[in-house]
Structure 1
Amino acid sequence: MPTTLDRQISATRATKTPLNRSQITGFWGAWAGWTLDGMDSFIYALVLAPALTELLPRSGYEATPANIGLAGSILFALFLVGWGLSFIWGPLADRFGRTKVLAATIFTFAIFTGLAATAHNVWELGIYRFCAGVGIGGEWALAGTYVAEAWPEDRRKMGAGYLQTGYYAGFFLAAALNYTIGAAFGWRAMFLVGLFPVVVSIMVLLRVKETDKWERAETAQPHVKHESSLKAIFNAQYRKRTIVAAVLLTVAIIGLWAGAVYEPSAVVQLATKAGMDKHDAARMASIATGLLSIGTIVGCLALPPMAEKIGRRKTLAVYFVGMAASIALAFGWAFYLPNGLVPFIALLVVLGFFGGNFALFSLWLPEQFETRVRATAFAFCTSVGRFFGAIVNFGIGAMVLNMKTLGVPIAITAVAFLIGLAVIPLAPETKGQELPN
C-alpha cells in the first residue's frame, strides 16, 4: 500500500509548476514571432513561380521553367546566406539580453519582407530576401533560448515543442494567405502581409521581461562579462559539441528545406499533369502546404515526450530515418507516377511529421551550453547549417537545370540524413539533466 508520503510525491510530480504572467506573455511573444517567421519564410516558396515569371523578363531573362528553377535556387541560396550571417544576433543577445535583440530580429525580417513587394527586378528581390534572412535567422536562436531560460525546468522540454509548432503554423498561415490574398491580389500582396510582425516586435520589446537566468549570469560572472562568447564556444569545454551540433543542424536544414521549398512547385507540376488549370493548381499547392504544416506540428508535439523517454540521440535518429525515407519516396517515386498527386501529398504529411526534428534542437541545444554563451552557440550552430544549405541549393538548382526535372535532385538530399545518423553518437546525451546556469 502506498504511504501518505508516496502519494504526496506522486501528486507533486503530476502537478507542473504554474507559469507566471511574464512567462506566459514571453512565450506567446516568442511563439508569435516564430510563427510569423515561418510565414515569411514560406511566402517566398509559394510566390516563387509568379514572382519570377514577372521579374525575370524585366531583368533580361526569359521566364522559362528552367530559368525560374535556377533563379529560384539562387535567390533562396542568398536568403540562406542571410540566415547564415544571423549568427551576429547571438553574441548581441548574450551581451545585452534576450528580449531586446529578439525584437530587433523580428523587426528586421518584417521590414525587408514588406520591401520585397516593391521589387522591380530579380536583383532587388534578392537583396530584400537576403536582408530578411538575416532577421529571420536570428529569431529561432533567441526564441529558443528565451523559452529554455524563462520556463521552469519541469515545463521547458514541452515548451520547446510548443515553440517549434509556431514555425509550421506559419507555413499553414502562409498557405491560407496564398489561397485567399495571394490568389486574389497576387504575389506582391503576400509580401506586404509580412509587415505585420512589426507589431509583434514592439510587443516583445515593451511587455516581455528579461530572463532571470541571463540577469543572474550578468551579475554572477563579472570576470567573463566582456569575454567573446563566440570564442568561448570553441574552447576545450565546448568545441566538440559546437561542431557536432552544427553538423546535425546542417543535415536537418539541407533535407527539410530542400523538400519544403520545392514542395509547392512539385505539387503545381503534378496538379497540372492531373488536368488542373493554373489557378486550381496554385490552390492545390496551398492545400498541400497546409497538410505538410499540420503533419509537422504533430511531429513537434510528439517529439519532447519521446526525447524524455528514449533520449535525445535516439529520438533524432528516429526522425532522421523518417525524413530520409519520406523525401526519397515523395520526390524519387511518387513524383514520377502517372497519377502521383495523391501519393505525393500523402507522403508530404509523413515528411512533415518527421520534419518536426527541429523541435529537438530547441530542446537539446540550450541543454548543452551555459547561460553566458547559450544564445551565441544556438545562433552559430543554426547559421553554419544555413551556409551549407545555401551551397547545396546552388547545387540543386544546377541539377534541376541540367536534368530538366525536379524530383531526382531533391530525392538525393535524403543522403544527408544518412550522414547525420553517423554523427549522432558523437553528441552528448542530456536526458534527465537540468539546464546549466
Structure 2
Amino acid sequence: MNSLTDRTPVVRRRTPLNRSQIAGFWGAWAGWTLDGMDSFIYALVLTPALTELLPRSGYAATPANVGLAGSILFALFLVGWGLSFIWGPLADRFGRTKVLAGTIFTFAIFTGLAATSHNVWELAIYRFIAGVGIGGEWALAGTYVAESWPEDRRKMGAGYLQTGYYAGFFLAAALNYTIGVHYGWRAMFLTGAVPVVVAILVLLRVKETEKWEKADASTVRAKPLREIFGPTYRRRTWVACILLTIAIIGLWAGAVYEPSAVIQLATKAGMAKNDAIRTASLATGLLSISTILGCLALPPLAERIGRKKTLAVYFLGMAVAIVGSFGWAFYLPNGLAPFIAWLCVLGFFGGNFALFSLWLPEQFETRVRATAFAFCTSFGRFVGAGVNFLLGAAVLHMHTLGVPVALTALAFIVGLFVIPFAPETKGEVLPQ
C-alpha cells in the first residue's frame, strides 16, 4: 500500500482560552475602550466647555484664549498621563488585576466630576487626575494580556487589545453625534463615569496571572524602577521611551487636532455649526475604524517580517499621512473630502501602538514588566505635553492649524533612525 495514502494533514490548533482568560481580556479591552473614549471626549468638547468656563474664570472666550487654554489644559492632562508610571511598581508588587481596576476607578470618577466644573481651574484639576488613571490602564492591560494568554495567542491578543482604544474614539464620536449635540459637554463627561462598572467586574471576575503568582516573593519585592535602568535593561528602556514618545506625538498631533481641522474645513465648505460638528464626529469614526484595521493587520506582519521592520513601515506611513492630510489636503480650496480620505491612511498607520502592546512585554521579565511598560509609556507623555503646548503656541503664532501639525511628521523620520537600536524579539517566548 502506498504510504502517501496514509498521510493525514497536520492541523495546527490554537491553545483554547479558559474562562478567566476570556473574562480578563474583555475586562482589559473594555477598560482600554472606555479609556480611549475618555481621552477623546476632551478633544470633542474642548471648544464648548471652554467657551462656557472661561468667562466664569475671568477671561474672554475669544478663539485665541480658547486655543491657548485648551493647549494648557491638555498639557496638564498629559502630565497626569506621565505621572501614571506610579501604577507599574504597584502592579509588580501587588498584582495586575487589582491595580488595573484602580486605574479604571481613578479615570472614571474624575471624568464624571469634570461635568461639575464651575471654572477652568476645576476642569484642569479633574482632567489632571483623570490623566493619571488613564495613563496607567494601557500598561496594566497590556501586561495582563501578555502574561495571561497562551504563547501562541498572545501576539494577536496584543492587536485585539489595542483596537479597544480606537473603538473608544468611535464611541466618543457616536456619543458626541447624539448626546453631545443635544445635551452639551457636561453630559459627555458624565458618560465617562461608566467605566466604574468595568472596574468592579475586573476585581470580582478576573484571576491574577500565573506568571506573576509564580514569581519568587523576594523578586517581586525588588526595586523594579531601579532595575530597568541597570546594565541589563538600560538601553532597551531608553530606546523604547524614544520610540513611544514619537508614536505619542503622532497620535495627539493627528487625532486630537483632527476634529478642529474637520470643523474648520466643513465651515469653510458652507456647513452650519451643528452639521460641521456632526461631520467631525463622522470623520472621527472613519479614523477609528481605519486604526482598528491597522491594529489587526500589525501582529501578523510583525510575525512575518519582525518587530523592527514592522514599526519602520508604520512610522513611514504616519509621516506620509500627516503631511498628506495636514500639510496638503487641509489647504486645498475644497479640501474636506481629500482630508478625510487622508485621515483613513493616518488612522491605519496609527495602529503602530499595537506593536508596543506586543513588543514591550517581550523585552522585560515578569518582575519588572509592568514597571517598564508603565515608565516607557509615561515618559513619552511628558514629552508629548511639551510638544502639545508648543503646537498650541505655533498655531497662535502662525494663525493656521495645518503646518504646525504637519511638521510633527519629522518625528517619525527621526524614529526610523532609532529603530535599529531596539532588540528584535521575533520568535522568542515571553520571558519569565
Partner of 2:302: 307
Question: Take 2:294 and 2:81, find their aligned partners in 1: how far apart are those partners?
Answer: 24
Q: Are 2:392 and 1:397 aligned?
A: yes
Aligned-partner residue type, residue 117 of structure 2: A
Question: Take 2:6 and 2:18, find their aligned partners in 1: how far apart are those partners?
Answer: 28
User: Shift of the alpha carbon at 1:5?
Assistant: 10
TM-aligned CA distance change 1:16 to 1:273, over 3 Å: same
Partner of 1:62: 60
Q: Are 2:363 and 1:365 aligned?
A: no
Partner of 1:347: 342
SS of match in other structure, 1:333? helix
Question: Take 1:119 and 1:426, find their aligned partners in 2: how far apart are those partners?
Answer: 46
Specify which of 132, 135, 152 is matched with residue 134 of structure 1. Answer: 132
Specify which of 105, 121, 124 is matched with residue 119 of structure 2. Answer: 121
User: Shift of the alpha carbon at 1:224?
Assistant: 2.6
SS of match in other structure, 2:257? helix
Aligned-partner residue type, residue 94 of structure 2: F
On the 8 A contact 1:70/1:400 being kept in 2, the answer is no
Question: Take 2:8 and 2:344, find their aligned partners in 1: how far apart are those partners?
Answer: 42
Q: Which runs of 5+ in 2 are unaligned?
A: none
Decide which moves more: 396-405 or 373-382.
396-405
Partner of 1:174: 172
Partner of 2:229: 234
Aligned-partner residue type, residue 380 of structure 1: F
User: Shift of the alpha carbon at 1:222?
Assistant: 3.5
Task: Please show how residues 5-404 of structure 1 align to structure 2 within 5 Å.
Answer: 7=8, 10-11=10-11, 14-217=12-215, 221-404=216-399
Aligned-partner residue type, residue 132 of structure 1: A
Deviations 1:178-213 (CA, angstroms, capped at 9, x unpaired): 000001100000000001000000000111000000
Question: Take 2:205 and 2:233, find their aligned partners in 1: how far apart are those partners?
Answer: 34
Q: Which runs of 4+ in 1 moved over 6 A?
A: 1-6
TM-aligned CA distance change 1:149 to 1:3, over 3 Å: farther
TM-aligned CA distance change 1:377 to 1:5, over 3 Å: farther
User: Shift of the alpha carbon at 1:73?
Assistant: 1.0
Partner of 2:402: 407
TM-aligned CA distance change 1:110 to 1:155, over 3 Å: same
Specify which of 413, 430, 433 is matched with residue 428 of structure 2. Answer: 433
Question: Take 1:338 and 1:67, find their aligned partners in 2: how far apart are those partners?
Answer: 27
Question: Take 2:287 and 2:198, find their aligned partners in 1: how far apart are those partners?
Answer: 25
Deviations 1:393-416 (CA, angstroms, capped at 9, x unpaired): 110011011111111111111111
User: Shift of the alpha carbon at 1:7?
Assistant: 4.7
TM-aligned CA distance change 1:228 to 1:4, over 3 Å: farther
**Identity %, equivalent residues:** 80
SS of match in other structure, 1:405? coil
On the 8 A contact 2:92/2:220 being kept in 1, the answer is no
Question: Take 2:148 and 2:268, find their aligned partners in 1: how far apart are those partners?
Answer: 50
User: Shift of the alpha carbon at 1:4?
Assistant: 9.4
Deviations 1:86-119 (CA, angstroms, capped at 9, x unpaired): 0000000000000000000000000000000011
Question: Take 1:270 and 1:300, find their aligned partners in 2: how far apart are those partners?
Answer: 28
Deviations 1:139-192 (CA, angstroms, capped at 9, x unpaired): 000000000000000000000000000000000000000000001100000000
Question: Take 2:77 and 2:3, find their aligned partners in 1: how far apart are those partners?
Answer: 59
Question: Take 2:119 and 2:278, find their aligned partners in 1: how far apart are those partners?
Answer: 26
Decide which moves more: 116-125 or 427-436.
116-125
TM-aligned CA distance change 1:6 to 1:75, over 3 Å: farther
Question: Take 2:334 and 2:303, find their aligned partners in 1: how far apart are those partners?
Answer: 41
User: Shift of the alpha carbon at 1:65?
Assistant: 1.7
Question: Take 2:402 and 2:6, find their aligned partners in 1: how far apart are those partners?
Answer: 61
SS of match in other structure, 2:400? coil
Question: Take 2:424 and 2:37, find their aligned partners in 1: how far apart are those partners?
Answer: 32
User: Shift of the alpha carbon at 1:227?
Assistant: 1.5
Q: Would you say how many aligned residue pairs link Structure 1 and Structure 2? A: 431
SS of match in other structure, 1:42? helix
RMSD: 1.3
Aligned-partner residue type, residue 119 of structure 1: S
Question: Take 1:300 and 1:88, find their aligned partners in 2: how far apart are those partners?
Answer: 27
Partner of 1:423: 418
User: Shift of the alpha carbon at 1:225?
Assistant: 3.1
TM-score, with length taken from structure 2 = 0.98
SS of match in other structure, 2:310? helix
TM-aligned CA distance change 1:5 to 1:260, over 3 Å: farther
Deviations 1:382-434 (CA, angstroms, capped at 9, x unpaired): 00000000010110011011111111111111111011111000000000000
Q: Which runs of 5+ in 1 are unaligned?
A: none
Aligned-partner residue type, residue 142 of structure 1: L
Question: Take 1:363 and 1:150, find their aligned partners in 2: how far apart are those partners?
Answer: 13
Question: Take 1:212 and 1:332, find their aligned partners in 2: how far apart are those partners?
Answer: 49
On the 8 A contact 1:85/1:134 being kept in 2, the answer is yes
Aligned-partner residue type, residue 204 of structure 2: L
Question: Take 2:324 and 2:262, find their aligned partners in 1: how far apart are those partners?
Answer: 15
Question: Take 1:37 and 1:171, find their aligned partners in 2: how far apart are those partners?
Answer: 9
Decide which moves more: 302-311 or 59-68.
59-68
